[in-house]
Amino acid sequence: MGWIFEGIETEEEERKYSDRELIERSIRRVAPYKSPIIISTVTMIGLTFVGLLGPLIFANLIDTLERTQNYTDLILGTIVISGATYFILSVLNWVGDYLINIQFARLVPDFMVTLRGDIFDAFQKQDMKFFDKHRSGRLNSRVSSDAADYGGAVSIVLTVVGQFLIIISVFLVLFLINPPLALLTASVVPILLLASFLFRRVARNTSMAFRKVHASVNAAMAESVSGIQVSKSFGVEAESLNEFKEINMEHYKAGFKRNISMNMFFPFVSALSAFATVTILLVGGGAAIQNLGFISTGTLYIFLSYLDRFFFPVTQLVNFYAQIQAGFAAYERILQVIDTEPEVQDSGVLEVDEIKGKIEFQNINFEYEENNPVLRNFSLTINPGERLAIVGHTGAGKTSIISILTRFYEFQGGKILVDGINVRDIKMKSYRKHLGIVLQTPFLFSGTIEENITYGRKDASKEDFTRALEISRVDEILEYLKDGLKTEVGEGGSSLSTGQRQLVSFARALLADPKILILDEATSSVDAYTESIIQESLEELMKGRTSIIIAHRLSTVKNADRIIVLEKGKIIEEGTHDALLTKGEVYANLYNTYFKHQEVTWEPESSMPELALGITPPP
């Protein structure tokens, strides 16, 4: 078991953040929204005092009824005044709540937009090594569920301010009315604070564990959808389902632990508040009944009314505390992305408007993983306008050369110069606008064919756009598409064939008008007919450009100005196609093994198909 989603529940060691750091970072994050926060806080203060007046009004009414012997005009007037005052307070309370809700309605969406934008921006700044370590489903959970949990926690924290104001205000009123009962009421608070402190670690750990497993479910789902065709082709849908069930069960267990840890504290707080209420009722009620002068009936009513107002925000704070811990656990995962520094740093200061295209690799050392070198003291010079083909067995280092030239990965030693300028000294955007890259597996974004072609150059002129269509032969495939350029390509270009996707990506690179063209096995995914269509375009496209070609097709190799043969990250042969064939060594062997049969004039050496296939016929 575990082979389909292997490694899905493992993550590298993650950075830990203290409560203090999370709080300080949160304060800095909400600081730009101080205006709605101040308005909401001031309104909460006003509502707190409004809320305190209600029980006082009815307590006064109760005591008045007890003292007076005139049950006509006096009582009627007191009732009317009390009722009218309470109605006015209710209206003020409604207005205050509305004002607070308006401020939160403005603050929270804006906060979430900024937060998700920061996470997405952090993704954009990372190099490819980061995405090699993190699955897309896990990263998606940072933007979706983690951001939502943290946003909810921030909203709760702002609400907590009002809860604290209510607790403090109610206690002060209770203390002014009757200090002994007020102190008795407050005696349970230290117990709650101690329990909350002990509960903090449990809530954080279970929330973090849940978030990790939740990300695993997202990753498994994303991978399953992406690889559904492979699963179906091997007939392993049932096995995939069983694997997902196991991950889903882990999600259930983590969620169960999280919910238990979050909810077990609430009954404890409710029991304490009930115990305090009963105690106040027994002590204060007994004194009132026995008329000891310790407390009046109206005062007892105030205490019972305020006890609810005191313990309700306390219980809310405890409940909020659990949600805040969950939000901080989510924020911790968000910060792990935001604080990750890419190895490839955009530290250049130079803007390069034009280049000739001379490329120099000087003593390059490169490794994807520590102590596992791919290129060692690698040196190569490519002249402006030269067409260089790179061949070699899988793992020889062909794509690695492209990866460090494009600055997708950081090399550990040596220099890469373009027109004599260190690429690390050039601003990344300025540098990459001179590169045109067509990959072996074409990727298109959801949208139309036109939007994908203009992806890197939305301000292209109509003439340049038309020329890109013609050279790439995209104009020919448009004849077979009902909506032409407005054809929706689907997710990843799924509505187009592999060949059509490749032609569109080819046109996209053409429109960018790069000075350095990189073709990473760009024709290996197309059929022979499509390849023949774009081969002539390639010849025209590569004129006047420095072109680096990694190819498995003979047609894109034999016409190169120079061919280098790589083996274990080192150049072991170089020269033209004919010269290397004449030499009769490694390239000649590759040619006879992989390329020769692609010649139009190629015929099997034996007329017998059995011998051509390497099968010995029976005697």
CATH classification code of 19-338: 1.20.1560.10
CB 587 within 8 A of CB 563: yes
Taking a C-beta distance cutoff of 8 angstroms, is the pair 252, 287 a contact? no
d(CA 444, CA 442): 7
Q: Can you tell me the distance from the alpha carbon of 209 to that of 257, in angstroms, rounded to the nearest whole number?
A: 9
- Partnered with residue 567 across adjacent β-strands are 570
Q: How many CA atoms lie within 13 A of 347 on its CB side?
A: 8
Single-letter amino acid, residue 433: K
DSSP 359: E
Residues in the chain: 619
Looking at residue 5, what is its pLDDT? Answer: 36
Structure tokens at 471: 């050279």
Measured CA to CA, the distance from residue 113 to residue 109 in angstroms comes to 6
Strands ordered across the beta sheet of 435-438: 435-438, 516-520, 546-550, 387-392, 562-567, 570-575
Gap between the Cα atoms of 513 and 534, Å rounded: 17
Residue 15 to residue 17: CA distance in whole angstroms: 7
- Can you read off the two tokens belonging to residue 100? 């607070």
Range list of β-strands (E), 461-533: 516-520
What is the pLDDT, as a whole number, of residue 87?
83
Q: How far apart are CA 120 and CA 66, in angstroms?
A: 67
**What whole-number distance in Å separates Cα of residue 68 and Cα of residue 70?**
6
Cβ 405 vs Cβ 341: under 8 Å: no
In the β-sheet with 359-369, what is the strand arrangement from edge to edge? 372-382, 359-369, 413-418, 421-422
Q: What's the gap between Cα 539 and its chain centre?
A: 41
* Domain boundaries for CATH 1.20.1560.10 within the chain: 19-338
* Pair 357, 545: CB distance under 8 Å: yes
The per-residue pLDDT for 422 is 94
Cβ-based neighbours of 114, under 8 Å, separated by 6 or more? 32
Position 72 scores a pLDDT of 56
**pLDDT value of position 421:** 93
What DSSP state is assigned to residue 593?
Answer: I
CATH topology of domain 387-392+426-612: Rossmann fold (3.40.50)
pLDDT at 27: 86
pLDDT at res. 607: 42
Q: What was the pLDDT predicted at 377?
A: 93
Reference 359, options 309, 418, 402; nearest CA is: 418
Instruction: Kindly report, as residue ranges, where domains of CATH 3.40.50.300 are found in the chain.
Output: 387-392+426-612
pLDDT averaged over 10-residue windows placed end to end, the chain, 619 residues = 38 66 87 85 81 72 64 62 79 86 83 85 83 72 78 79 75 77 74 68 70 68 58 58 74 75 67 72 62 60 71 69 76 86 86 91 91 91 92 86 91 93 91 84 83 85 87 82 86 80 84 86 64 69 85 73 91 90 86 64 47 36
Q: Could you identify the residue written with the tokens 């750091």? A: 21
CA-closest candidate to residue 437, choices 403, 390, 411: 403
Q: What is the pLDDT of residue 122?
A: 84
* Cα–Cα dist 330/255, whole Å: 14
387 neighbors 542 (Cβ within 8 angstroms)? yes
C-alpha 483 chain-centroid distance:
34
Residues 6+ apart with CB under 8 A from 73: none
Distance between CA atoms of 107 and 39, rounded to whole angstroms?
A: 11
